[in-house]
Structure formats: C-alpha cells, structure tokens
Chain A
Amino acid sequence: MSRCRGWRWAAAALAPAGLALCLGVGPAGFDWPDRATEIGRAIWRLRVERVSAGFIVGAALSTAGVLMQALLRNPLADPYVLGVSGGAALGAAAAIVLGFAGALALPAAAFAGGALTLLLVYAIAAPRGRAPSVYTLLLSGVIVSAMCGALLMLMISMAHSAGLRGITWWMLGNLQVASASLLRAAAGVAAFGFAVAYILAPEWNALALGEEVAHHVGVRARAAGMIGLGIATLTASAAVALAGLIGFVGLVVPHGMRALVGADHRRLLPASALAGGLLLALCDALARSVRAPAEWPVGIVTALLGGPFFLYLLRRRRGWET
C-alpha cells in the first residue's frame, strides 16, 4: 500500500505540469499566445480545446481498457475488443459515404455504430437470455469486428476520393476538435463513465477473479458485469466519436499502472485515467509540433513513444508474465 503513496503525490503534481506544457506547444515551437489580442485568445481557445480533447480521450480509453481487462479477465483486452472500433468505424464511414459528415453527424454515427455493435455482440454471445461466458463474448467480438472490417473495406472501395481521405484520416485518429459542443458532450459521457466505474471499483476487483467468486463475496455478479461492459463501451464510443480510432493507450496504460499502483481498481482506475489522459495530451503535443505545421497522426506517436516506456515499466515491475 505504501508503494503507491509517493506516486500519488508525484502524479498529482505531474498532471497539471504536463497539461500546462501541452498548452504551450504550438506550430512555432513553445510559446504562450498573447491573450490580450483577439488572435491570441482564439489560439489559446483552440489549444485548450485540443489539450482537453487529448486528456478526455486518453482518460476515457484507459478507463474502458481497465474495465474490459477486468471483466473479460483477459490482459489482452482493449477498449475495442468487443467490436466497438469496427462498429464505430463502420458508422463513421457510412456517414461519410452517404454524405452526412457534418460536425455532429459523424461522431453521432460513430457512437451509434460502436454501441450497436456491443448490443449485437452481447446478443450473439448470450442466446435465450443466459449469461454469456467470457470466451463466447470475446469470440463473438472478434467475429463481429472482422465482419465490420469487411464491410468497411467494401465502403472504402466504393467511396469517392474526398470521402476516402476523410475515412482514412478518421481511422488514424485525430484530436482536432470539430466543435466545442461535441467536446462537451464527449467530456460529459466520459466523466459519467468514469464516475460509475470508480463507484463500482470493488465490484471490478471481485469480477476480475471470476463471476463465481464475485457472487460468493456478495456482488450481484451478472448485473455488475453488464453495467461494466455497457460503461466501457459508452466511454470508448465517446472517445472514438471525438477523435476517431486511437490505439495503444487503452491496452497499455492499464498494464503500466498496475505495475505502479497495484491491481486494486480503487487505485488503478484514477491512476489509469490520469496517466492515459496525460500520455495522450503529451503525445498529441509532440505529434503537432514535430513537423509543424504538418501533423503526425497521434496514434503513431503514442505507440512509438509510449511503447518503449511501458515495456520498461512492465519489465521492471511485476505483471509481465501474467
């Protein structure tokens, strides 16, 4: 227990500093926009939106990743494992191809695609109202994802060239905020998801040991499991709707944080949300400044930069073999 106390303070101090650093990063290197001028204020607002989006998406994906890994009892699970990414991509591509790609229509379509996919996966895995096993859930998630992928390819093959670029850019992930209202909506959903996940942290501890154990230690196992899958999908879909598909964060941040603060979800959830948000905001700051004014897709930076760091964490601490 004592091993996490120091980290908690370090993280609490690190997070604002990290976010402030991100705010200072612009196309011309590190600078603080002059807020006395109209342009300066506009730039400042853009940066705040951008950094907020990074933090929200990173925190949401990490929260969803923690939940999926605990509920599916699988360290390889990520927020997208039950087909959320495939469904959301399909929804977004459909919106682009059909010409509904407005500021809110695209994320709405992605969100609906992701959520519908979870319902479909759950319905396939749980015939006649019985509780699905983890294996049937994972397997149907993989199969539905593959089918979504095939349909996505079909759409790409039929899309006009402008639509094609839109789809590709969206699939690479991008934290440019389309509208402030979308950012607020995603933030609200992510905050709600995190709050529910945090309140039910003891339930995730029990469910990580299996539904049987959870029942016997006094958890309403099936209800809690369904709430968890729903919340994970909701937060992941909100992240996808805001920023497209950003991999890596939701898979690896939970593992890294387990190595630092332990597996108890009371500590793991806040630690992962904070670290995921910070990681993505920092990586995005880098992605938009390395070759400014051009931008790298942020997913590339998270994987190339975050990868080695988390490999180091995992090798140094426990939690690598399992």
Chain B
Amino acid sequence: MSAAIELEGVSARYGGAPCLCDITLRLEEGGLAALLGPNGAGKSTLLRVITGRHPPASGAVRLFGGDVARLNAAERAALVALAPQELTVPLPFTVEEVVAVGRTARRPRWGAPDPASRRAMEEAMRAMDVWDLRERPFEELSGGERQRAVIAMALAQEPRLLLLDEPTSHLDLSHRLEIFERIERMNAERGLTVLLTSHDINLAAEYCRRLFLLHRGRLVAEGAPGETLREPLLREVYRCDLRVRREDDGALNVRPIRRR
C-alpha cells in the first residue's frame, strides 16, 4: 500500500523559532484526514512543509513515495494542491479566471484552455457549486462563495492529494456542512486523498476517518476520531476544560466548559 504523505522525523523553523518538532506521520492514498490543534500549533506550516513551500530543517517529506524536494514544480503540482484559507485577488479576476490558475502546470502555455482543462475546470466548478458564478469578479463574492471558488481552483488542478487550510472558517453551520459533504463526496467518488486543517473538531470527527492532533509543533495523537479525542489530552492541548461525549447516534461531541 503506497502512502500519499509520509513524513519522517520532520522539524521546521519559522522565522528562526522552532515550529514543528520531529513529526512522523503517514496518510494512506484515498484517506480523508484532519489536522487538529490550537492556533499556532503548526498546522498551516505542516501543510506548507508537505507541499515543499516551506523546506524542513531536518527530516524527510515524501509524496506518493517521492521526495518532495526532488520534484520539479510541475510534477509537484500534479500530485498535490493546496486550497489556502483566504485568497485576496487585488485585480478584477473572474471566478473562472481564478479557477483557471489551477490549470497552470497542466494546460498549454498559449491560447484558450485545452479540452481536458476545460472539462476539469467545469467539473471543479460544478462540484463546488460555483459554476453559475463563473463570470462574476472574485472579489465580489461572499465569504462562503470565495471559499468554494478557492477549493474549485485546487480541484481544477486534478491533484492526487488535496490539502485544505481551514476550508470552513468564516462559514455558517449549513455552509460548513455543505463543504464537508462535498469534500467527502470527492474523496469517495474519485479516490482523492484529502488532508484538511480545522478548528471545528466535531465536524472533522464526523467526516474524517483519521485525525492528527498537533500541540506546540508536536504530533501528540493520531488515529480514528474515537481514539484521538480523549478528554485529558484535549484539555491539555486546548488549555480549557471540556467534555467529550458520544451522542446516541454515535457522533462525537467535544464541548468546551465555561470558565468561572
């Protein structure tokens, strides 16, 4: 069985300060996993280490068996895409023009998009339900529409591994559900491997089969949601009192307890 992501003893620094420490992690191809942890735990940096954007200080990063540092830019883009948490587009790009950027490494340099690119862009926009918005300027979209358009850009890249940085921040409940449902469908129907970061522990536990818990740059727990979300550990990591309960329907519920 080949692993989509394989990290071995990865440490990284950010602006001189250590920020990831000796992380060893494996995500199988076809997996759907979430990276949890409080602000500043190193989640986003870990994603950027996986894409080769942030070279680790030590350790090995392998994507589908290949060392990420040895891949050229186009090879890397064919394997992994990252949908950033926020995207500001200062120039009047339309949604379609933003999504087309996802095809940069896969379409001919000149001329209109080739048929394969056009199909990939349409599929991505339909999967994220932004097809009807394609002519609209990106900056005029609402927060939720933007987040879907950014994910569509990453999907249009047709990667084997999709990384999502906080795909549901700024979204209301139903939009969060919708994003998770769409991600789950992409994972099930296309075998797309997905790793996402989230502050929404309950939804991540609901949709992801595997959780990784980061605390101050270290991987402190991993496994199925039931194994990872243990009360004493979460209390220490999130530095607050909380309860973990299994609901009648089997869902896990992590509830913070108010401080007196």
List the interface of chain A (C-beta within 8 A of B): 1, 69-70, 73-75, 199, 201-203, 205-206, 208-210, 212-213, 215-220, 258-259, 262-264, 266, 318-319, 321-322
Contact = CB atoms under 8 A, between A and B. Distances in A.
A81 to B, nearest CB: 14
A266 B110 contact: yes
A318 B137 contact: yes
B89 A258 contact: no
Contacts of A218: 73-74, 76-78, 104-106, 157
Given A209-B89, A217-B157, A218-B78, 17 more contacts: A74-B90, A202-B104, A205-B97, A210-B84, A210-B88, A212-B48, A215-B51, A216-B154, A217-B77, A217-B81, A217-B104, A218-B74, A219-B105, A220-B73, A262-B94, A322-B89, A322-B92
A221 to B, nearest CB: 9
Given A206-B101, A208-B89, A217-B105, A1 B53 contact: no
B217 to A, nearest CB: 20
B260 interface: no
Given A217-B77, A218-B78, A209 B101 contact: yes
B93 interface: yes
B91 A258 contact: yes
Contacts of B74: 218
A9 B74 CA distance: 34
Contacts of A206: 101, 104
B51 A319 contact: no
A75 B104 contact: no
Contacts, number: 102
B87 A209 contact: yes
B102 A210 contact: no
Sorted from nearest, which 8 A-B pairs have the closest CB atoms?
A218-B77, A218-B105, A319-B92, A217-B104, A216-B82, A263-B93, A322-B139, A218-B73
Given A218-B78, A266-B111, A322-B137, A213 B87 contact: yes
A70 B90 CA distance: 9
B102 A217 contact: yes
A320 to B, nearest CB: 8
Nearest to B84: A212
Interface in B82-129: 82, 84, 87-94, 97-98, 100-107, 109-112
Contacts of A199: 109
Contacts of A1: 112
A319 B137 contact: yes
Contacts of A266: 110-111
B111 to A, nearest CB: 7
Contact of A263 (B91, B103, B111, B157): B91
A216 B81 contact: yes
B91 A75 contact: yes
Interface in B28-74: 48, 51-53, 73-74
23 contacts: A70-B91, A73-B88, A75-B90, A75-B91, A199-B109, A201-B109, A205-B104, A208-B89, A209-B93, A209-B98, A209-B101, A212-B48, A212-B82, A213-B87, A216-B53, A216-B77, A217-B104, A217-B153, A218-B77, A219-B105, A259-B92, A263-B92, A321-B139
Given A69-B91, A75-B90, A322-B91, A216 B100 contact: no
Contacts of A74: 90
Nearest to B53: A215
B51 A216 contact: yes
Contacts of B110: 266
B109 to A, nearest CB: 6
B158 to A, nearest CB: 11
